[in-house]
Amino acid sequence: MKKRVVVTGLGVITSLGKDVELFWNSLIEGKSGIDVIERFDTSELGIKIAAEIKDFQPENYFDKKEARRMDRNTQYGLAAALMALKDANIDLEKINKDRLGVILGCGVGGIETFEDQMSVLIEKGPKRVSPFFIPMMIANMAAGQIAMSIGARAINETVVTACASGTNAIGDAYNAILRGEADVIITGGTEASITPLAISGFSSMKALSTNNENPKKASRPFDKNRDGFVMGEGSGILILEELEHALKRNAKIYAEVVGYGTSCDAYHMTAPDPEGSGAALAMKKAIEDAKILPEDVDYINAHGTSTGLNDKLETKAIKAVFKENAYNVAISSTKSMTGHLLGAAGGVEGVVIALAIKNNIIPPTINLEENDEECDLYYVPNKAVEKVVNYAMSNSFGFGGHNAVILMKKYE
Amino acid sequence: MIFEKVKERISDILGVDADEVTMESSFMDDLGADSLDVVELIMALEEEFEIEIPDEEAEKIQTVGDVVEYIKEHTDM
């Protein structure tokens, strides 16, 4: 019999909350986690806003020496992973750690460390570059550190597909459990790229909202006046577990993972395919993998970045897959509140669909005030809705043309 | 004086209590350092005391006393 995979634990570190309950309540209340950047001087930057995590204390999660050796993205990932393991009530003394794995998504890696050490190189010379520069910067170190801190010895990988990374990681974890490689996999994504260099790079691409005066209104997916995404940071982690393994230990189950679809636009470095056909292909594959019909899907957590192109083309892609049912399905972009967490977005949004299924509540797209004729679907504007959610999917699309879609179902 | 300053940096970088650090402490065996920590520590001390510890000398450093002695010999302090 084919194995089944369920979600048994969740953890988040985001600007909206450093625990799952606060995060979820903020989402359904429609709160924005976006504000003026405080971490560094933005006076020379065109962009002054982000969804920064303002009061993260690494020593609440691990000791000071360990924290010093971790880039911020690793700190977020490890903190969220420990939270998710606790939520899953996994007894690390009892579990077979040879069958406990980690598959994370990370789009950028330790860019804060990179910038710090680049300054050291320029100001003090090559002999002062830290021996921790490389291990702290490499994008796979969060997965490595999680494994080290708990002794997880099974599959351990990091997926780098830009803003699709987190969703690709969840899909890969799902498949690894299906093929029997592990009983439990810690998955999702982590990112910490609110730095002068990263902000400047995205800003030069004209990808970011310049609505510096109104931070809480800046991320407005599907709204006519959207003008780019707002950078977020943090981590969203899910514990995926083989069903029999979860049942044996009486684990609580949030949802079942039933479908995964991937594709590539094979079109342009950063611009999406103008017909949205790559995104449509990934959605179609996820729905086929789940052996359901498009009309069975109750909720789509959209990629919904608040850029002109994404929201228009994602709408087009949803119409291509859902046909006349496109107007009935509830779609929302939680990036309106969390900002865009890049490689961690899929992790955080995977947490969102698991909770939407568990709680039968769909969080809204906030700041949706003026209709755009090219974005004319039902985006759950401004207020959460209560609705039975049997099937929910999460879309993630990344630079490079990467598309990833994960589909979950109410567990029964 | 040198020892006090060295102790402070060790406590900072290795995250150990300054009181635990003695001249006899071995970086790896007593203070929980790995090879990367030792490199980082030596760099910090080079900067603080404005000296250069060549790699072949650095490799010989095992204990806090070793590094304090080296600094004494190479500075006017």
Catalytic residue positions of A, numbered: 163
Give residue A49's pLDDT: 98
Mean pLDDT, all residues of chain B: 93
Q: How many domains does chain B have?
A: 1
| Co-location of A325 and A365 in the same domain | yes
| Co-location of A193 and A281 in the same domain | no
Give the rounded percent of residues in chain A with a pLDDT score beyond 70.
Answer: 100
Contact indicator for A223, A368 with CB cutoff of 8 Å: yes
Considering only CB atoms, B47 lies closest to which of A64, A65, A128, namely: A128
- Could you give the count of Cα atoms lying within 13 Å of A132 in the half-sphere of its Cβ? 19
| Co-location of A138 and A226 in the same domain | yes
Instruction: Give B26's pLDDT tier (boundaries 50, 70, 90).
Output: very high
Instruction: Flag whether pLDDT at B77 surpasses 80.
Output: no
Range of the domain at B35: 2-74
Mean pLDDT, all residues of chain A: 97
β-pairing, A299-301 with A330-332? parallel
**Distances in Å between the alpha carbon of A20 and those of A102, A164, B69?**
20, 22, 53
Backbone CA torsion sign across A216, A218, A222, A224: positive
- Burial readout B41-65 (b: 16 or more C-beta within 10 A, e: otherwise): bbbbbbeebeeebeeeebeebebbb
Q: How much is the average pLDDT of A125-132?
A: 96
Give residue A122's pLDDT: 98
A65 chain-B contacts, CB cut-off 8 A:
14-15, 32
The predicted-structure confidence for A186-241, as pLDDT tens digits, reads as follows: 999 999 999 999 999 999 999 999 999 999 999 999 999 999 999 999 999 999 99
| Co-location of A90 and A238 in the same domain | yes
Give residue B1's pLDDT: 84
Report yes or no: B14 at the A interface, CB cutoff 8 Å.
yes
Rounded CA-CA distance A13/A18 in Å is 4
Rounded CA-CA distance B51/B10 in Å is 17
Contact indicator for A234, A76 with CB cutoff of 8 Å: yes
Looking up residue B18, the CATH number of its domain turns out to be 1.10.1200.10
What does pTM read for this prediction? 0.96
Contact indicator for A333, A366 with CB cutoff of 8 Å: no
Window 18-77 of A, Cβ < 8 Å to B? 63-65, 68
Task: Report CB contact under 8 Å: B43, A132.
Answer: no
Task: Report CB contact under 8 Å: A68, B36.
Answer: no
Task: Report CB contact under 8 Å: A132, B15.
Answer: no
Window 55-74 of B, Cβ < 8 Å to A? none
Instruction: Transcribe A176-237 into DSSP letters.
Output: HHHTTS-SEEEEEEEE---SHHHHHHHHHTT-B---TT-HHHH--TT-TT---B-BB-EEEE
Range of the domain at A291: 257-409
Q: How much is the average pLDDT of A321-337?
A: 97
| Co-location of A52 and A93 in the same domain | yes
| Co-location of A230 and A362 in the same domain | no
| Co-location of A287 and A140 in the same domain | no
Instruction: Flag whether pLDDT at A9 surpasses 80.
Output: yes
Q: How many domains does chain A have?
A: 2
| Co-location of A196 and A263 in the same domain | no
Q: Let me know if B34 is a catalytic residue.
A: yes
Instruction: Flag whether pLDDT at A262 surpasses 90.
Output: yes
Instruction: Give A114's pLDDT tier (boundaries 50, 70, 90).
Output: very high
Considering only CB atoms, A65 lies closest to which of B14, B46, B47, namely: B14
| Co-location of A158 and A283 in the same domain | no
Using the 3D structure, point to which of A212, A227, A248 is the last residue of a domain: A248
| Co-location of A143 and A183 in the same domain | yes
Looking up residue A236, the CATH number of its domain turns out to be 3.40.47.10
The predicted-structure confidence for A91-108, as pLDDT tens digits, reads as follows: 999 999 999 999 999 999
| Co-location of A113 and A78 in the same domain | yes
- Burial readout A42-80 (b: 16 or more C-beta within 10 A, e: otherwise): beeeebbbbbbbeebebeebbeeebbbbbbbbbbbbbbb
Give residue B23's pLDDT: 96
Give residue A64's pLDDT: 84
Q: How much is the average pLDDT of A391-404?
A: 98
Instruction: Flag whether pLDDT at A318 surpasses 90.
Output: yes
| Co-location of A375 and A398 in the same domain | yes
Instruction: Give A374's pLDDT tier (boundaries 50, 70, 90).
Output: very high
